[in-house]
Chain A
Amino acid sequence: MAIKIEDYNGLAPAWCPGCGNFGILSALKKALVELNLDPHNILLVSGIGQAGKLPHYTKGNVFNSLHGRPLSPATGAKLANRELTVLAFGGDGDGYGEGGNHFIHSARRNHDITYLVHNNQIYGLTKGQTSPTSDIGFITKTTPQGAPPPINPIALAIAAGAGFVARAFAGDIDYLSSIIKQGINHRGFALIDILQPCVSFNHKNTYQWYKERVYKLEQDGKYNPSDKDTAFKKAQEWGEHIPIGVFYREDRPVYESVFPALGKSTLVSQPIEPLKTERLLAELF
């Protein structure tokens, strides 16, 4: 039975009118429908912030976790049931601030999780403080002297070992949707950093600002995402021109494949057999 867009309808969003999150939600639903994925086999794990609310506004199994932590429960869940399609969501503060360590190590271990970071370069839910990705010099309520230099999530993800590293723009739903589809289809950790205008608190990095700057990596027909050096170089580009698309791709063994226990069946489907423990007791005599 084909999955329809209505199958992914959820509660009414409580985001500000014009929020970049609407574009991300539309692109996500479109991707899931086009991949014909059943909501019952999807697990959406989110952090805290406006991005963290997204799973409630669509359908699927939902674990709305703590601030900065979506990747950790997503990791546990994927290992427990590798047949689930696991997606994690969070903002820039959630993923690159609070959850920075989990981001690096999830990329390194290469869990088969698609990670969407709604990057609006500002803290929205707490109403307008600097974030790890705020542009240098950006004046906010907590940085009256101007923000320190931002983190570079693309370069960081490549360095940490992520096998799928992409950036997209919430204002281009079709392109974002195609990137999400590729991320889900990639077997391994996939980072999708999404440029997301915050209409309430970021009056610098607006729809207009992004539209004037973003260009697709593949537009010249020459970009090769399997070349790590070029990917690193491209990851440094920011300002007048901002590349979007898949920066880097590499197929590496996923973490789930290191456990023989997961080779036969999912962990959750394996029986509990206390009597088998007799072997362990026998070693103690």
Chain B
Amino acid sequence: MVAEINFMVGGEAGQGVQSVGFLLAKALSRWGYHVFADQDYESRVRGGHNFFRIRASASAVEAIDEKVDILIALNKESIDLHRREIRTGGIILYDGEKITGMEGSDLISIPMERLAKESAGDVLMTNTVALASALGIISYDFILLSGLLTGFFKEETAGQNVKAAEAGYQYIQKMHSNAYQGKLNRAGDAKRMLLSGNDALAIGAIAAGCKFMAAYPMTPVTSIMEYFAAKSDEFGLVVVPAEDEIAAINMTIGAAYTGVRAMTATSGGGFCLMVEGVGLAGMTETPIVIIEGQRPGPAIGLPTRTEQGDLEFILHASHGELPRVVLAPATVDDCFWLTVKAFNLAEKYQLPVFIITDHYLANSYFTTDNFDLKKVIIDRGLLYNKNQNAGEYKRHAYTPSGISPRAFPGNKDALVVTDSDEHDEAGHLIEDSETRTKMMDKRFRKMDGVKEEIIPPRFYGKDKAETLVIGWGSTYGVIKEATDTLNKNGGSYSHLHLNQIWPFPVDAVSAAKKNARHCYVIENNATGQLSGVIKRETGLSTDKILKYDGRPFTPDDILQKLRK
């Protein structure tokens, strides 16, 4: 019996790699395993080479293992490209009637297409045969599989899929029952959710009461918009497919000004177009949430790959100066809870709040425990009440905290006036130097309050370790796995991980750095952007471990660099 197994599903776009991979991950999760899965795909609708990796373990996993135990090859290219990644004793499941001329004891042929035709009368069920054979070889519980398929497919095709699964499962048990030695059992009775970073962001936003989203589809955030649209009738949401990102952010601002929790989502290229809206939200003190799912740039870059190249861009986006908050979730739990927090911070401090993710986190699946929705606190900040506020309503009234009570259009006691021009307390445009200075000070005063709400970064590993490793956002799982491995082998490493980047946690970073002899900042970009921010904010210099080939770090990448 083994406690861990790694699957890979490979094929071309349109072959169903994603659905086989997802169902496999879900099946293993329902068998009590912790699951981590990531995806690699090309920017095309058909053809090319895509793969989906699934790591299932009896203990928690948050990164991929580069070695594969079972490869489900839906085409020949998948065998050619990934055969060398197979661990000793690992196997390749493929359709030997379709992919011919292959040799080797690692190859297990299953007539997937023929079985699909014979059992379900439809070659479309070939993937289900592949899925069932992979689960059959580890003696997965067929009743669980059958239930999974019934829940996943539409009623009309569920029966056919179960039949195809039966054929694949029985075939492999009968013909190749000993082909793979690492038999698995159910890992436990724990029930966990399986979700991607984007799932968690979208559900977090709905839980937080976001009711309006305007966006333009862009990889890797499109699925957030689609999720919102799919749930719009059930949850009373409005999703506007805007003509461009400029419209998207300005619509979002209009909805937020009118009193609805509102957000937009885009990637770096779309965010380039949105930048003017960041300034508008800052100037008019309109609370908006912007999800920025990074992908490699500049320009179109690598549309379906990953990078952390937009940090400095987001920290500085807009001409002029404005207060802002930048959050960078590290896990799916972060994606959910930081989104809830983003809406609260946005409304409490009346400013734009960014949630930075990337292609890797957006599309990776994690298992995690149920989110306790009773812990979702909704704080809409200071709201205008004519009994508590004497005189005529002033949208931008000066206050010690910098926060002016909000009223919304339609209020019988208040007219809500605001301007993208510099304005006075009443929201009317001004040009005098005194008001300008007071308004700038008022807006930036809000950051004093925000600073109190920023939770210090996660600190992990050995206290007073010789080497400190710093990361931010999506790299948490891989860095953690690498430092764990090093510490298990007698190393002295600690790991500080930032998921709330602005306002910058100066004290926590300085303190952690002080205790270490060496310090590396690990980033998925070419220039070491966080390293630069650390230098600017704390005066401290760090070494950099960088990767900018469009692929996520693996624990091995980090181990090799740190061991040097």
Contacts and interface: CB of A to CB of B under 8 A. Distances in A.
Contacts of A268: 258-260, 408, 410
A64 B423 CA distance: 10
How big is the B interface, by class?
Answer: 35 or more
Contacts of B559: none
Interface stretch (B96-104, B233-241, B323-331, B438-446): B233-241
Nearest to B256: A76
Contacts of B194: 284-285
B375 to A, nearest CB: 9
Given A40-B412, A65-B280, A73 B232 contact: no
Contacts of B208: 272, 274
A260 B233 contact: yes
A257 B412 CA distance: 26
B105 interface: no
Contacts of B420: 48, 64-66
A74 B214 CA distance: 13
A15 to B, nearest CB: 14
B176 to A, nearest CB: 31
Given A56-B428, A62-B427, A277-B206, A74 B254 contact: yes
Given A48-B420, A80-B212, A102-B247, A261 B236 contact: yes
Nearest to B340: A274
A178 interface: no
Contacts of A281: 193, 203, 370-371, 373
Contacts of A84: 258, 409-410
Interface string B408-425: 111110111111110000
A274 B373 contact: yes
B250 interface: yes
B261 interface: yes
B261 A69 contact: no
B253 interface: yes
A11 B251 contact: no
Contact of A64 (B193, B211, B238, B418): B418
B378 interface: yes
Contacts of B250: 65-66, 69, 72-73, 76
A105 to B, nearest CB: 4
A125 B378 CA distance: 44
Contacts of A62: 415-419, 427
Interface in B17-42: 30
Contacts of A235: none
A45 B419 CA distance: 10
A21 B174 CA distance: 85
Contact of A262 (B238, B256, B259, B416): B238
A66 B417 contact: no
Among A48, A281, A284, find the residue whose CB has the most chain B CB atoms closer than 10 A. Answer: A284
Interface in A48-87: 48, 53, 55-56, 59-66, 69, 71-81, 83-84
A40 B254 contact: no
Contacts of B191: 285
Contact of B203 (A45, A69, A81, A277): A277
A277 B373 contact: yes
B253 to A, nearest CB: 5
Interface string B162-201: 0000000000000000000000000000011111000100
B421 A64 contact: yes
A78 B250 CA distance: 13
B240 A79 contact: yes
A275 B421 CA distance: 40
A279 B371 CA distance: 12
A178 B116 CA distance: 70
B254 A63 contact: yes
| Interface SS of chain A | helix
Interface string A17-40: 000000000000000000000011
Contact of A45 (B247, B254, B276): B254
A101 interface: yes
Interface in B81-132: none
A101 B416 CA distance: 28
A280 interface: yes
A105 B258 CA distance: 21
Nearest to A263: B236
Nearest to B237: A261
Contacts of B235: 261, 276
A39 B261 CA distance: 24
Given A72-B250, A75-B240, A102-B243, A259 B232 contact: yes
A185 interface: no
Given A61-B416, A81-B410, A261 B211 contact: yes
A72 B250 CA distance: 5
B341 to A, nearest CB: 13
Nearest to A284: B193
A274 B380 CA distance: 14
B428 A11 contact: yes
Contacts of B237: 261
A61 B255 CA distance: 14
A184 interface: no
A220 interface: no
A161 to B, nearest CB: 13
B171 to A, nearest CB: 29
Nearest to B260: A80
B536 interface: no
A11 B243 CA distance: 35
Interface in B369-425: 370-371, 373-374, 376, 378, 408-412, 414-421
A41 interface: yes
B410 A83 contact: yes
Interface string B219-250: 00000000000011111111010111011001
A40 B407 CA distance: 11
A180 interface: no
A180 to B, nearest CB: 20
B207 interface: yes
B257 interface: yes
9 contacts: A65-B280, A69-B246, A69-B276, A73-B251, A81-B259, A259-B232, A261-B232, A276-B235, A277-B373
Interface of B: 30, 191-195, 199, 203, 206-209, 211-212, 214, 231-238, 240, 242-244, 246-247, 250-262, 276-277, 280, 284, 370-371, 373-374, 376, 378, 408-412, 414-421, 427-429
Given A267-B236, A284-B194, 18 more contacts: A40-B409, A40-B412, A40-B415, A56-B429, A60-B415, A61-B409, A61-B415, A62-B415, A65-B254, A66-B420, A69-B250, A77-B254, A80-B254, A81-B258, A262-B238, A267-B260, A276-B235, A284-B199
Interface of A: 11, 39-41, 43, 45, 48, 53, 55-56, 59-66, 69, 71-81, 83-84, 101-102, 104-105, 259-262, 267-268, 270, 272-281, 284-285
